Amino acid sequence: MTPFRILCFAVVLLWFAGIAAQAEPTVRIGSLRYGTLSWELDVIAHHGLAEKHGVRIDALELASVPAAQLALQASRIDVILSDWLWVSRQRAASADLTFVPFSSATGSLVAGTASTVRTVPDLAGQRLGIAGSSIDKSWLVLQLYARSRFGFDIEKNVDKSFGAPPLLNEELEAKHLDAVLTYWPFAAKLEARGMPAVLTIGDALEGLGLTRDLPLTGYVFSESWAAENRAALEGFLAASREAKTILDQSDAEWERIAVLTGARDALELTKLRDAYRQGIPRHWTAEEINAAARLYRLLAEIGGSALVGPSRELAPGTFLAEMNF
């Protein structure tokens, strides 16, 4: 074959490849740089799971959850991670967003190494750092649990401060705080440094008579987009499930993504791995959906309109129907 024919053949192959790429269903997903979703996306890319399930994934790195929410609402991306409380609030305001579970991993209350806090009532008069804002769902759940289990008004009886999880970890290590209520990856890192977990939010949910492994975080997208792009969504969710299976079964995979997790050492990585695995949703049935509705009512009672907007009931359609989980 002459060089000219080889060149023509290569051009034709590239042309066909371009057509195939254009025809491939695509999901544009917003991901935080150091979030757990980025770990899964890396596993999907490394093992070619998107191609295996007939979908193309375009990931857009975003700075924060609010930035992701705005990008989704502006149709810059198709899918983000968020919680079903936000989805319900948006639906109550006539949006058509819906939710598929991603993780049931929850935050924890962690005490400092020099702290005397070993139970929730021990927080009285202590310095408590809280990740997020005053309407963070973990903080609201802790308040509900303290009131229900101990008759303890934690909101009025602690010296509380709100902040970003990395800063709270530093403050706890420096003994400027007695305990922190923080997101699970940061709690896992504190535990790896010898700081005891006093209570997980899963424990608190169970103490409130709810399902302890209730998925709170999930993939969020427009219901109309899902109907128009069913093949893309199903392919993406299948790739995500397979990535979870790999992370659930392979310790070697965790060694491979160790840098992404920010783990300082092997113990931190093990804590992160175990917490992630515990949070993999194993089932999503009417029991979990009913538990979510009950939790929503409890949170609406304590968080008010600042948390849920005008609706005190979980909005119909918050959870995607007719989708294999």
The reply to whether 171 and 297 lie within a common domain is no
Tokens of 197: 């977990």
Say if CB 152 and CB 146 are below 8 A apart.
yes
Q: What is the pLDDT of residue 23?
A: 63
Tokens of 267: 């113990």
Mean pLDDT value across residues 30-34: 87
Tokens of 54: 């007939």
Q: Is residue 1 part of a domain?
A: no
* Other Cβ atoms closer than 10 A to 23: 9
Residue 125, burial from CB neighbour count under 10 angstroms (0-12, 13-18, 19+): exposed
Q: What is the pLDDT of residue 12?
A: 41
Using the predicted structure, report yes or no on whether residue 3 has a pLDDT greater than 60. no
pTM of the predicted protein model: 0.89
Mean pLDDT value across residues 29-47: 94
The reply to whether 193 and 152 lie within a common domain is yes
Say if CB 318 and CB 220 are below 8 A apart.
no
The reply to whether 136 and 119 lie within a common domain is yes
Over pLDDT 90: what percentage of the chain? Answer: 84
The reply to whether 176 and 267 lie within a common domain is no
Owning domain of residue 145: 108-207
pLDDT tier at 10, thresholds 50, 70, 90: very low
Task: Please provide the distance, in angstroms rounded to a whole number, between the alpha carbons at the two ends of the chain.
Answer: 51
Which of 3-7, 169-173, 271-275, 302-306 is the least confident region?
3-7
Instruction: Return the higher-pLDDT residue of 102 and 3.
Output: 102
Mean pLDDT value across residues 231-254: 97
Using the predicted structure, report yes or no on whether residue 5 has a pLDDT greater than 60. no
Mean pLDDT for the chain overall = 91
Q: Is residue 223 part of a domain?
A: yes
The reply to whether 90 and 33 lie within a common domain is yes
Using the predicted structure, report yes or no on whether residue 279 has a pLDDT greater than 90. yes
Using the predicted structure, report yes or no on whether residue 4 has a pLDDT greater than 60. no
The reply to whether 181 and 131 lie within a common domain is yes
Q: What is the CATH number of the domain that holds 261?
A: 3.40.190.10
The reply to whether 117 and 200 lie within a common domain is yes
Q: What is the pLDDT of residue 22?
A: 52
**9 Cβ contact partners less than 8 Å away, ≥ 6 residues apart:** 1
The reply to whether 96 and 230 lie within a common domain is yes
Number of domains in the chain: 2
Mean pLDDT value across residues 263-269: 97
Among 207, 233, 261, give the residue marking a domain's end.
207
* pLDDT tens-digit series, residues 53-94: 999 999 999 988 899 999 999 999 999 999 999 999 999 999
SS3 state of residue 198: strand
Q: Is residue 199 part of a domain?
A: yes
The reply to whether 95 and 230 lie within a common domain is yes
Q: Is residue 123 part of a domain?
A: yes
